[in-house]
Structure 1
Amino acid sequence: MITPSLQSIMIYAKDMQKTALFYTKHFNFQSNKEIIDGLIELNSESGNIQILIHQAAKSLKTGQANIKLVFSVVDLNAFKQQAFENGLVFGVTHQANGYQFSNTKDPDGNSISISSRRYR
């Protein structure tokens, strides 16, 4: 059996450069922000995942997708404070079964969560 692995997530953005800047600034993805083959490629420091930014069609309604990007953080409150100092506000911290999470949105209205679930 061939088992696929998740390599990348594609985000359709109204303003590709603004969205690329958001993920490089707040989540430390690396990119030269050049548009190559219609995409801006963002790579995680670990190299485990990449985000591809694609120009959204004018007809696309932003913030309506059924997707949420979840970023694992060891210290949720410390990350929230760092993000706040960098201009990104997360919502209320929710306590779950042995972990915490908090939500925000990117410039295109895509849902984002930070979570300590991986480290519970």
Structure 2
Amino acid sequence: MTLGRLIIYTRKMDEMAEFYATHFGYQIRRDPADRITELAPQAGGAALLLHPAGKAQKMGQVLVKLVFDVADVPARRAALMAAGIEVGPLLDGGGYAFANLKDPSGNSVQISARAFRSPG
């Protein structure tokens, strides 16, 4: 059994789809008969499903953080910042680099080299 999909509730469907497609390599898949927009990963990993948020749902709660494995965090951070995205400082996780940011709906996102760190 593997984790195949994550649902993200949002009021910014188009902006969110473009954000993850442009900056994290997802392919946007829309079906006119379905209100969910599927974002398919191009390099493996879980798909993201964008679901229209209900009126009572609060955007940007920090109960879950999406973490993207990136071998060169400083380079990816620089590219995101060059694209106008606010990214926090480059941090040391004890042998690997990471940085935090928010998506257009205020959800927590991290780029991290943890998956590429040396054992020990």
Give the TM-score of the pair, scaled to structure 1: 0.90
Structure 2 residue aligned with 1:101, among 98, 101, 107? 98
Matched, 1:83 2:80: yes
Once residues 33 and 87 of structure 1 are traced to their aligned partners in structure 2, the CA distance between those partners, rounded to angstroms, is 26
Which segments of 5 or more consecutive residues in structure 1 lack a partner in the other structure? none
2:7 to 10, 16, 20: 10
Q: Which of these residues, 21, 24, 35, is aligned with residue 24 of structure 1? A: 21
AA aligned opposite 2:81: F
Counterpart secondary structure, 1:30: strand
- Are the equivalent residues in 2 in contact too, given 1:41–1:53 (CA < 8 A)? yes
Structure 2 CA distance, aligned partners of 1:10 and 1:36? 18
User: Aligned residues: percent identity?
Assistant: 38
| CA 29–51 in structure 1, closer or farther in 2 if over 3 Å, else same | same
Contact 2:25 2:42 in 1 (8 A): yes
Q: Which runs of 5+ in 2 are unaligned?
A: none
- TM-score under structure 2 length normalisation: 0.90
CA contact (8 A) 1:26 1:88 kept: no
Partner of 2:109: 112
SS at match of 1:63: coil
Cα RMSD of the aligned pairs, angstroms, is 1.4
Question: How many residue pairs are counted as aligned between the two chains?
Answer: 117
The structure richer in strand per residue is 2
